[in-house]
Amino acid sequence: MSLTGAYDPANIFARILKGEIPAVKVWEDDDVLAFMDVFPQSEGHVLVISKTSRARNLLEVEPEVLATLAAATQRTARAVAKALSPEGFSIMQFNGEAGGQTVFHLHFHIIPRWADRPLKGHGHAPMADADVLRSLAERIAAALD
């Protein structure tokens, strides 16, 4: 899918927001949802999405939604850092198929990093065990300010 085109209301994240597909949630409010990536590139990989915007990518997002997402990403990253004590973390955000994007509902990746643990490939990581994800989500949620 290119950078231009229509929002697909049946994309995976839209279906998660509608409750049609389960997700391991970390936290949510009226505007955003933070949930565990089911194919995590590292332990504690979290995704942050808007509940209100139909932006597929960074080019389309309303500036006020972007500001809300940025603050939500920071809040979540702080909790990830507190809960899991990574040595670093990567914030990733892909735009368009050629840019590495696979789900066309704008999202930010929070990926904890440790120097001695190689990052799993984007789109190539194995599916995580749901109980493990639930336990990580609980630890991260407990560390939220």
Catalytic residues, by residue number, are 107
CB of 38 to ligand 5GP, least distance (A): 4
CB of 7 to ligand 5GP, least distance (A): 14
**Stretch of residues binding ligand 5GP (CB under 6 A), selected from 25-33, 59-67, 76-84, 100-108:** 100-108
Hey, how many other C-beta atoms are within 10 angstroms of the C-beta on 12? 16
52 versus 102: smaller Cβ distance to ligand 5GP: 102
**Binding of ligand 5GP at residue 101 (CB under 6 A)?**
yes
Contacts of 144 (CB under 8 A, 6+ apart): 26, 27, 75, 76, 78, 79
d(CA 136, CA 145): 17
Quick check: helix, strand or coil at residue 66? helix
Question: Which member of 23, 72, 77, 83 binds ligand 5GP (CB under 6 A)?
Answer: 23
Hey, how many other C-beta atoms are within 10 angstroms of the C-beta on 54? 17
Question: Which member of 35, 61, 68, 72 binds ligand 5GP (CB under 6 A)?
Answer: 35
Task: Quote the tokens at residue 87.
Answer: 């040595």
CB of 37 to ligand 5GP, least distance (A): 5
CA dihedral for 59, 64, 69, 74, sign (positive or negative): positive
Q: How many residues interact with ligand 5GP (rule CB under 6 A)? A: 14
Binding site for ligand 5GP (CB under 6 A): 12, 21, 23, 35-39, 94, 100-103, 123
